[in-house]
């Protein structure tokens, strides 16, 4: 935030009027009905926040208080929390950015609000630290979040408003924050049942991590908006007439899929925007008492499938068995007019309220009540259990496991007594054993699934009845880690395996301290993380263990020390220079055909580098440099599949990279083609390629199956414009359906 230079009395008066207007707007549509005491609490928090932030401004130049008000409005309207959370949201930056302390707030507002703000303050401090591995921060962040579910929800609201106002940040900050958002906050919103917010976070993240793709889809959606709205209105009218004839009370809402979901479909299925057919989704929200909710849902389903043919593979019943977030709905995809797929979601008004507000609906009217028996609190308990396991020291692996458990689809299995357990899709008998109790998992021999004996690795299906067989002689084995997908099972297995290993590792730590001191290398977190990368080990404990066992010897440590000094120097050099200024680069029209060499940092230095094999950048592509531990600088495309992970986890090792016109250099590119086979197709393709004298052809591989051909052509080009020209020529060949550059070998 910035402090103002000169603010006139007139400007201050206008801003005060605007602050008052925004405050009233915030309270106007609160999800929870507020009592007089609630309103007094919120006003007290607002007055303190206004006073505390009075001399502070955002990057946009606006008064800083606009931000807390906006966060509180999201908390009140879009998430649906009550007075305690709204007051906490208004004051969420007070301790971090002003002279107020947690003790001050506890005296003024009590321990509950003070604890929530303390949790939010810890997260902000963690996010601003520049330590060696960003994912390690996330473990600490999640541990803080799990102290009170409202800390998670307010932090999600804070991040949503930051993403909505990200335009005011400089480009490198935008990329880091957007990557971090899609890496952790969107999955958290998903797990909290906040699907609208999750979709918006993903869309906004895509806007900054892959702007070309985002604006391309946005433009095409705008172009087709009138046609899509007419289609949805027509579809809804057909259903509406049928439901009215049955005397049902209902509302139908139509919408398009989110930009991010369309983008994922384009990438995953390898199809253009025009071939994404299921762009449409409608929601039928019916009025019902609790007793008849299920009956009416299936009645409406039957009526809709009488009108339109359903897709049997796209049926989802979350009414008979709700999601762990409490989400209830009946989903069916039907073939609508003009042979277009339309997803229809059927739910009652109560179900829709839970779907819109997620877990916040559980807090309606009961912010002062303990919700220890809710499914959400069970999940929060599991999070704490995961985080507090000592063996979760490999932060990247931890985050991958954690995200899997946030996003995974669910299956439902039964115990022999008929109790229902929810597990992620792909869970094994061993996962089920650990979900019952750690001791059951540790001593698990096998499982009877539907009466038949199966090994520990057997993947369970929804509806299975599972009986776990145990033995006191059984102990966890290393290969068990290959059988499980749940974080609880993995952490418990690792904890058991590491009990003996930990003692040896403690001895190894003492040894390594002495040896690094002799090599004049500081022993700190940064060094340990670099050693993990250098020796390709998953945790610091593995390093200490390998040193104690002699697997890593004196000579290995000496080589590390020599490389380490160069690596650290390179990082420090660019941390000071790269992105240190926020000045905008001048927009010049550049002839991409002359771009053929890379420079790095603000000073545009020439350094040794390698092109990353995961995305194979060529001149003209937007790129960045990533400082690796042992292989120098690797250059990635900005839209590389690994870009988000690198930005979120290692932002401090990202350096600016830029193509310039320097010397002649060729780059390999792989072109994939597909189309209808015909006589002369092969000769037409080879003729196009032979006409491009600038190309150096490495291989051509064409195959045909049932009248459809596909081909892979590997060429060397000097820059992106040359590649784009030959791809355009190939696409113009009669019968060719698609031509694209790919990164798969």
Give the pLDDT of residue 48.
93
CA–CA dist 491, 488 (Å, integer): 5
Token pair of 159 as six digits: 């991040």
For residue 618, is pLDDT > 90?
A: no
Q: Torsions phi, psi of 282, nearest 5?
A: -125, 160
Q: Average pLDDT for residues 327-354, to the nearest whole number?
A: 87
CA distances from 117 to 33, 61, 282 (A): 23, 25, 39
Structure tokens belonging to residue 742:
């790919």
- Phi, psi dihedral angles at 553 (to 5 degrees): -105, -175
| H helix count then E strand count, the chain | 28, 20
Please tell me the predicted confidence (pLDDT) of residue 157. 93
The reported pLDDT for the residue numbered 182 is 86
Q: Distance between CA 155 and CA 157 in Å, rounded?
A: 5
Strands (E), 459-557: 466-470
Cα–Cα distance, 466 to 459 (Å, whole number)? 11
* 159, pLDDT greater than 90: yes
Residue 572 predicted with pLDDT over 80: no
pLDDT (0 to 100) of residue 367 = 42
Q: Which residue has the higher pLDDT, 578 or 41?
A: 41
pLDDT at 371 over 70: no
Residues 231-289 have pLDDT tens digits of 888 999 999 999 999 999 999 988 777 888 888 888 888 888 877 766 778 899 999 98
Q: Report the run of H or E that residue 626 belongs to, with start and end.
A: strand 623-627
- pLDDT: which is higher, 139 or 503: 503
- Map tokens 């068995």 to a residue: 321
Residue 402 has a pLDDT of 56
- Helix H segments across 593-716? 643-649, 681-691
Distance CA 77, CA 81 (A): 8
Element (H, E) at 405: helix 395-407
pLDDT at 127 over 60: no
SS3 per residue for 303-324: HHHHHCEECHHHCEECCCCCCC
The pLDDT of residue 91: 92
pLDDT of residue 40: 93
Q: Which two tokens stand for residue 516?
A: 């690094």
What DSSP assignment string belongs to 642-659? THHHHHHH-GGGEEEEEE
More confident residue, 398 or 462: 462
Check residue 408 and give its pLDDT: 56
What sign does the CA torsion over 718, 721, 725, 726 have?
A: positive
- When mean pLDDT is compared across 264-273, 607-616, 657-666, the lowest value belongs to 657-666
Please tell me which residue, 651 or 482, carries the higher pLDDT value: 482
58 burial type by CB count under 10 A (0-12 exposed, 13-18 middle, 19+ buried): middle
* The predicted structure's pLDDT at residue 196: 86
- What mean pLDDT, rounded, does the chain reach? 78
* 44-48, 406-410, 506-510, 722-726, range with the lowest pLDDT: 406-410
Distance, in Å, from the CA atom of 639 to the CA atom of 210, rounded to the nearest integer, reads: 6
For residue range 58-82, what is the model confidence (pLDDT) as tens digits?
877 788 999 999 999 999 888 888 8
List C-alpha distances in Å: 33 to 29, 144, 367, 393, 558.
9, 29, 12, 44, 67
From CA 1, how far away is CA 254, in angstroms rounded?
A: 40
Residues labelled as active-site residues: 96-97
Q: Rounded CA gap, 282 and 237, in Å?
A: 12
Determine contact, residues 300/247, Cβ cutoff 8 Å. Answer: no
| 585 confidence band (pLDDT: 50, 70, 90) | very low
Beta strands in 521-618 (DSSP E): 597-600, 609-611
CA distance 484 to 475: 15
Question: Is the per-residue pLDDT at 210 higher than 80?
Answer: yes
Top mean-pLDDT range of 109-113, 117-121, 128-132: 109-113
Q: How confident is the model at residue 147 (pLDDT cuts 50, 70, 90)?
A: low
pLDDT at 17 over 80: yes
């Amino acid at each position: 935030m910035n402090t103002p230079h000169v603010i006139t009395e007139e400007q201050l008066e206008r801003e005060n009027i605007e602050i008052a207007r925004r405050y009233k707007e915030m309270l106007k549509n609160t999800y929870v009905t507020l009592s007089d005491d609630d309103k007094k609490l919120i006003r007290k928090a607002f007055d303190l926040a206004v006073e505390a932030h009075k001399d502070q401004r955002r990057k946009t130049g606006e008064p800083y208080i606009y931000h807390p008000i906006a966060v509180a409005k999201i908390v009140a309207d879009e998430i649906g929390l009550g007075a305690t959370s709204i007051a906490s949201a208004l004051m969420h930056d007070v301790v971090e950015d002003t002279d107020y302390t947690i003790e001050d707030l506890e005296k003024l507002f009590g321990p509950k609000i003070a604890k929530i703000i303390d949790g939010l303050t810890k997260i902000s401090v963690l996010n601003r630290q520049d330590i060696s591995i960003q994912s390690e921060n996330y473990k600490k962040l999640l541990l803080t979040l799990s102290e009170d579910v409202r800390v998670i929800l307010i932090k999600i609201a804070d991040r949503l408003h930051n993403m909505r106002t990200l335009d005011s940040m400089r480009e490198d900050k935008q990329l880091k924050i957007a990557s971090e958002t899609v890496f952790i906050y969107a999955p958290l919103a998903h797990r909290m049942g906040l699907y609208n917010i999750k979709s918006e976070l993903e869309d906004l993240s895509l806007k900054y991590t892959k702007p070309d793709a985002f604006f391309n889809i946005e433009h095409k959606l705008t172009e087709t908006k009138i046609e899509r709205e007419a289609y949805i209105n027509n579809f809804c009218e057909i259903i509406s007439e049928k439901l009215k004839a049955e005397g049902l009370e209902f509302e139908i809402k139509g919408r398009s899929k989110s930009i991010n979901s369309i983008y994922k479909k384009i990438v995953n299925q390898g199809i253009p925007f025009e071939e994404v057919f299921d762009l449409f989704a409608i929601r039928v929200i019916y009025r019902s008492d609790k007793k008849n909710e299920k009956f009416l849902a299936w009645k409406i389903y039957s009526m809709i499938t009488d009108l339109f043919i359903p897709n049997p593979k796209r049926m989802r019943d979350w009414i008979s068995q709700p999601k762990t977030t409490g989400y209830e709905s009946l989903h069916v995809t039907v073939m609508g007019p003009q042979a277009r797929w339309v997803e229809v979601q059927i739910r009652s008004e109560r179900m829709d309220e839970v779907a819109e507000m997620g877990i916040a609906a559980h807090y309606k009217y009961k912010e002062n009540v303990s919700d220890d028996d809710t499914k959400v609190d069970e999940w929060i308990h599991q999070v704490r259990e995961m985080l507090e396991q000592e063996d979760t020291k490999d932060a990247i692996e931890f985050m991958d496991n954690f995200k899997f458990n946030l996003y995974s689809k669910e299956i439902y299995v039964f115990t022999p007594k008929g109790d229902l357990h929810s597990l992620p899709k792909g869970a094994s008998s061993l996962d089920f054993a650990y979900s019952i109790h750690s001791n059951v998992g540790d001593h698990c021999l096998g499982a009877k699934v539907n009466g038949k004996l199966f090994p520990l690795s057997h993947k369970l299906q929804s509806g299975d009845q599972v009986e776990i067989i145990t033995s006191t002689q059984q102990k966890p084995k290393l290969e068990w880690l290959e059988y499980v997908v749940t974080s609880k099972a993995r952490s418990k297995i690792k904890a058991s395996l590491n009990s003996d290993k930990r003692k040896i590792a403690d001895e190894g730590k003492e040894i390594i301290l002495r040896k690094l001191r002799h090599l004049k290398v500081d022993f700190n977190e940064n060094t340990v993380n670099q050693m993990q990368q250098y020796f390709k080990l998953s945790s610091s404990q593995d390093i200490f263990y390998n040193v104690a066992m002699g697997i890593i010897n004196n000579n290995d440590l000496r080589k590390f020390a020599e490389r380490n000094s160069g690596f650290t120097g390179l990082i420090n050099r660019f941390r000071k220079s790269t992105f240190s200024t926020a000045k905008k680069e001048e927009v010049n029209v550049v002839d991409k055909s002359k771009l053929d060499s890379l420079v790095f940092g603000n000073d545009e230095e020439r350094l040794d580098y390698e092109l990353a094999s995961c995305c194979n950048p060529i001149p003209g592509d937007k790129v960045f440099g990533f400082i690796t531990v042992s292989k120098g600088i690797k250059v990635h495309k900005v839209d590389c599949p690994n870009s988000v992970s690198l930005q979120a986890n290692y932002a401090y090792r990202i350096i600016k990279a830029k193509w310039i016109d320097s010397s002649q250099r060729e780059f390999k590119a792989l072109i994939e083609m597909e189309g209808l086979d015909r006589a002369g197709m092969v000769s037409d393709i080879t003729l196009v390629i032979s006409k491009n004298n600038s190309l150096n052809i490495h291989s051509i591989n064409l195959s045909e199956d049932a009248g459809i051909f596909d081909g892979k052509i590997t060429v060397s080009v000097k820059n992106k414009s040359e590649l784009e020209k030959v791809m355009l020529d190939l696409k113009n060949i009669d019968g060719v359906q698609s031509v694209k550059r790919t990164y798969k070998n």
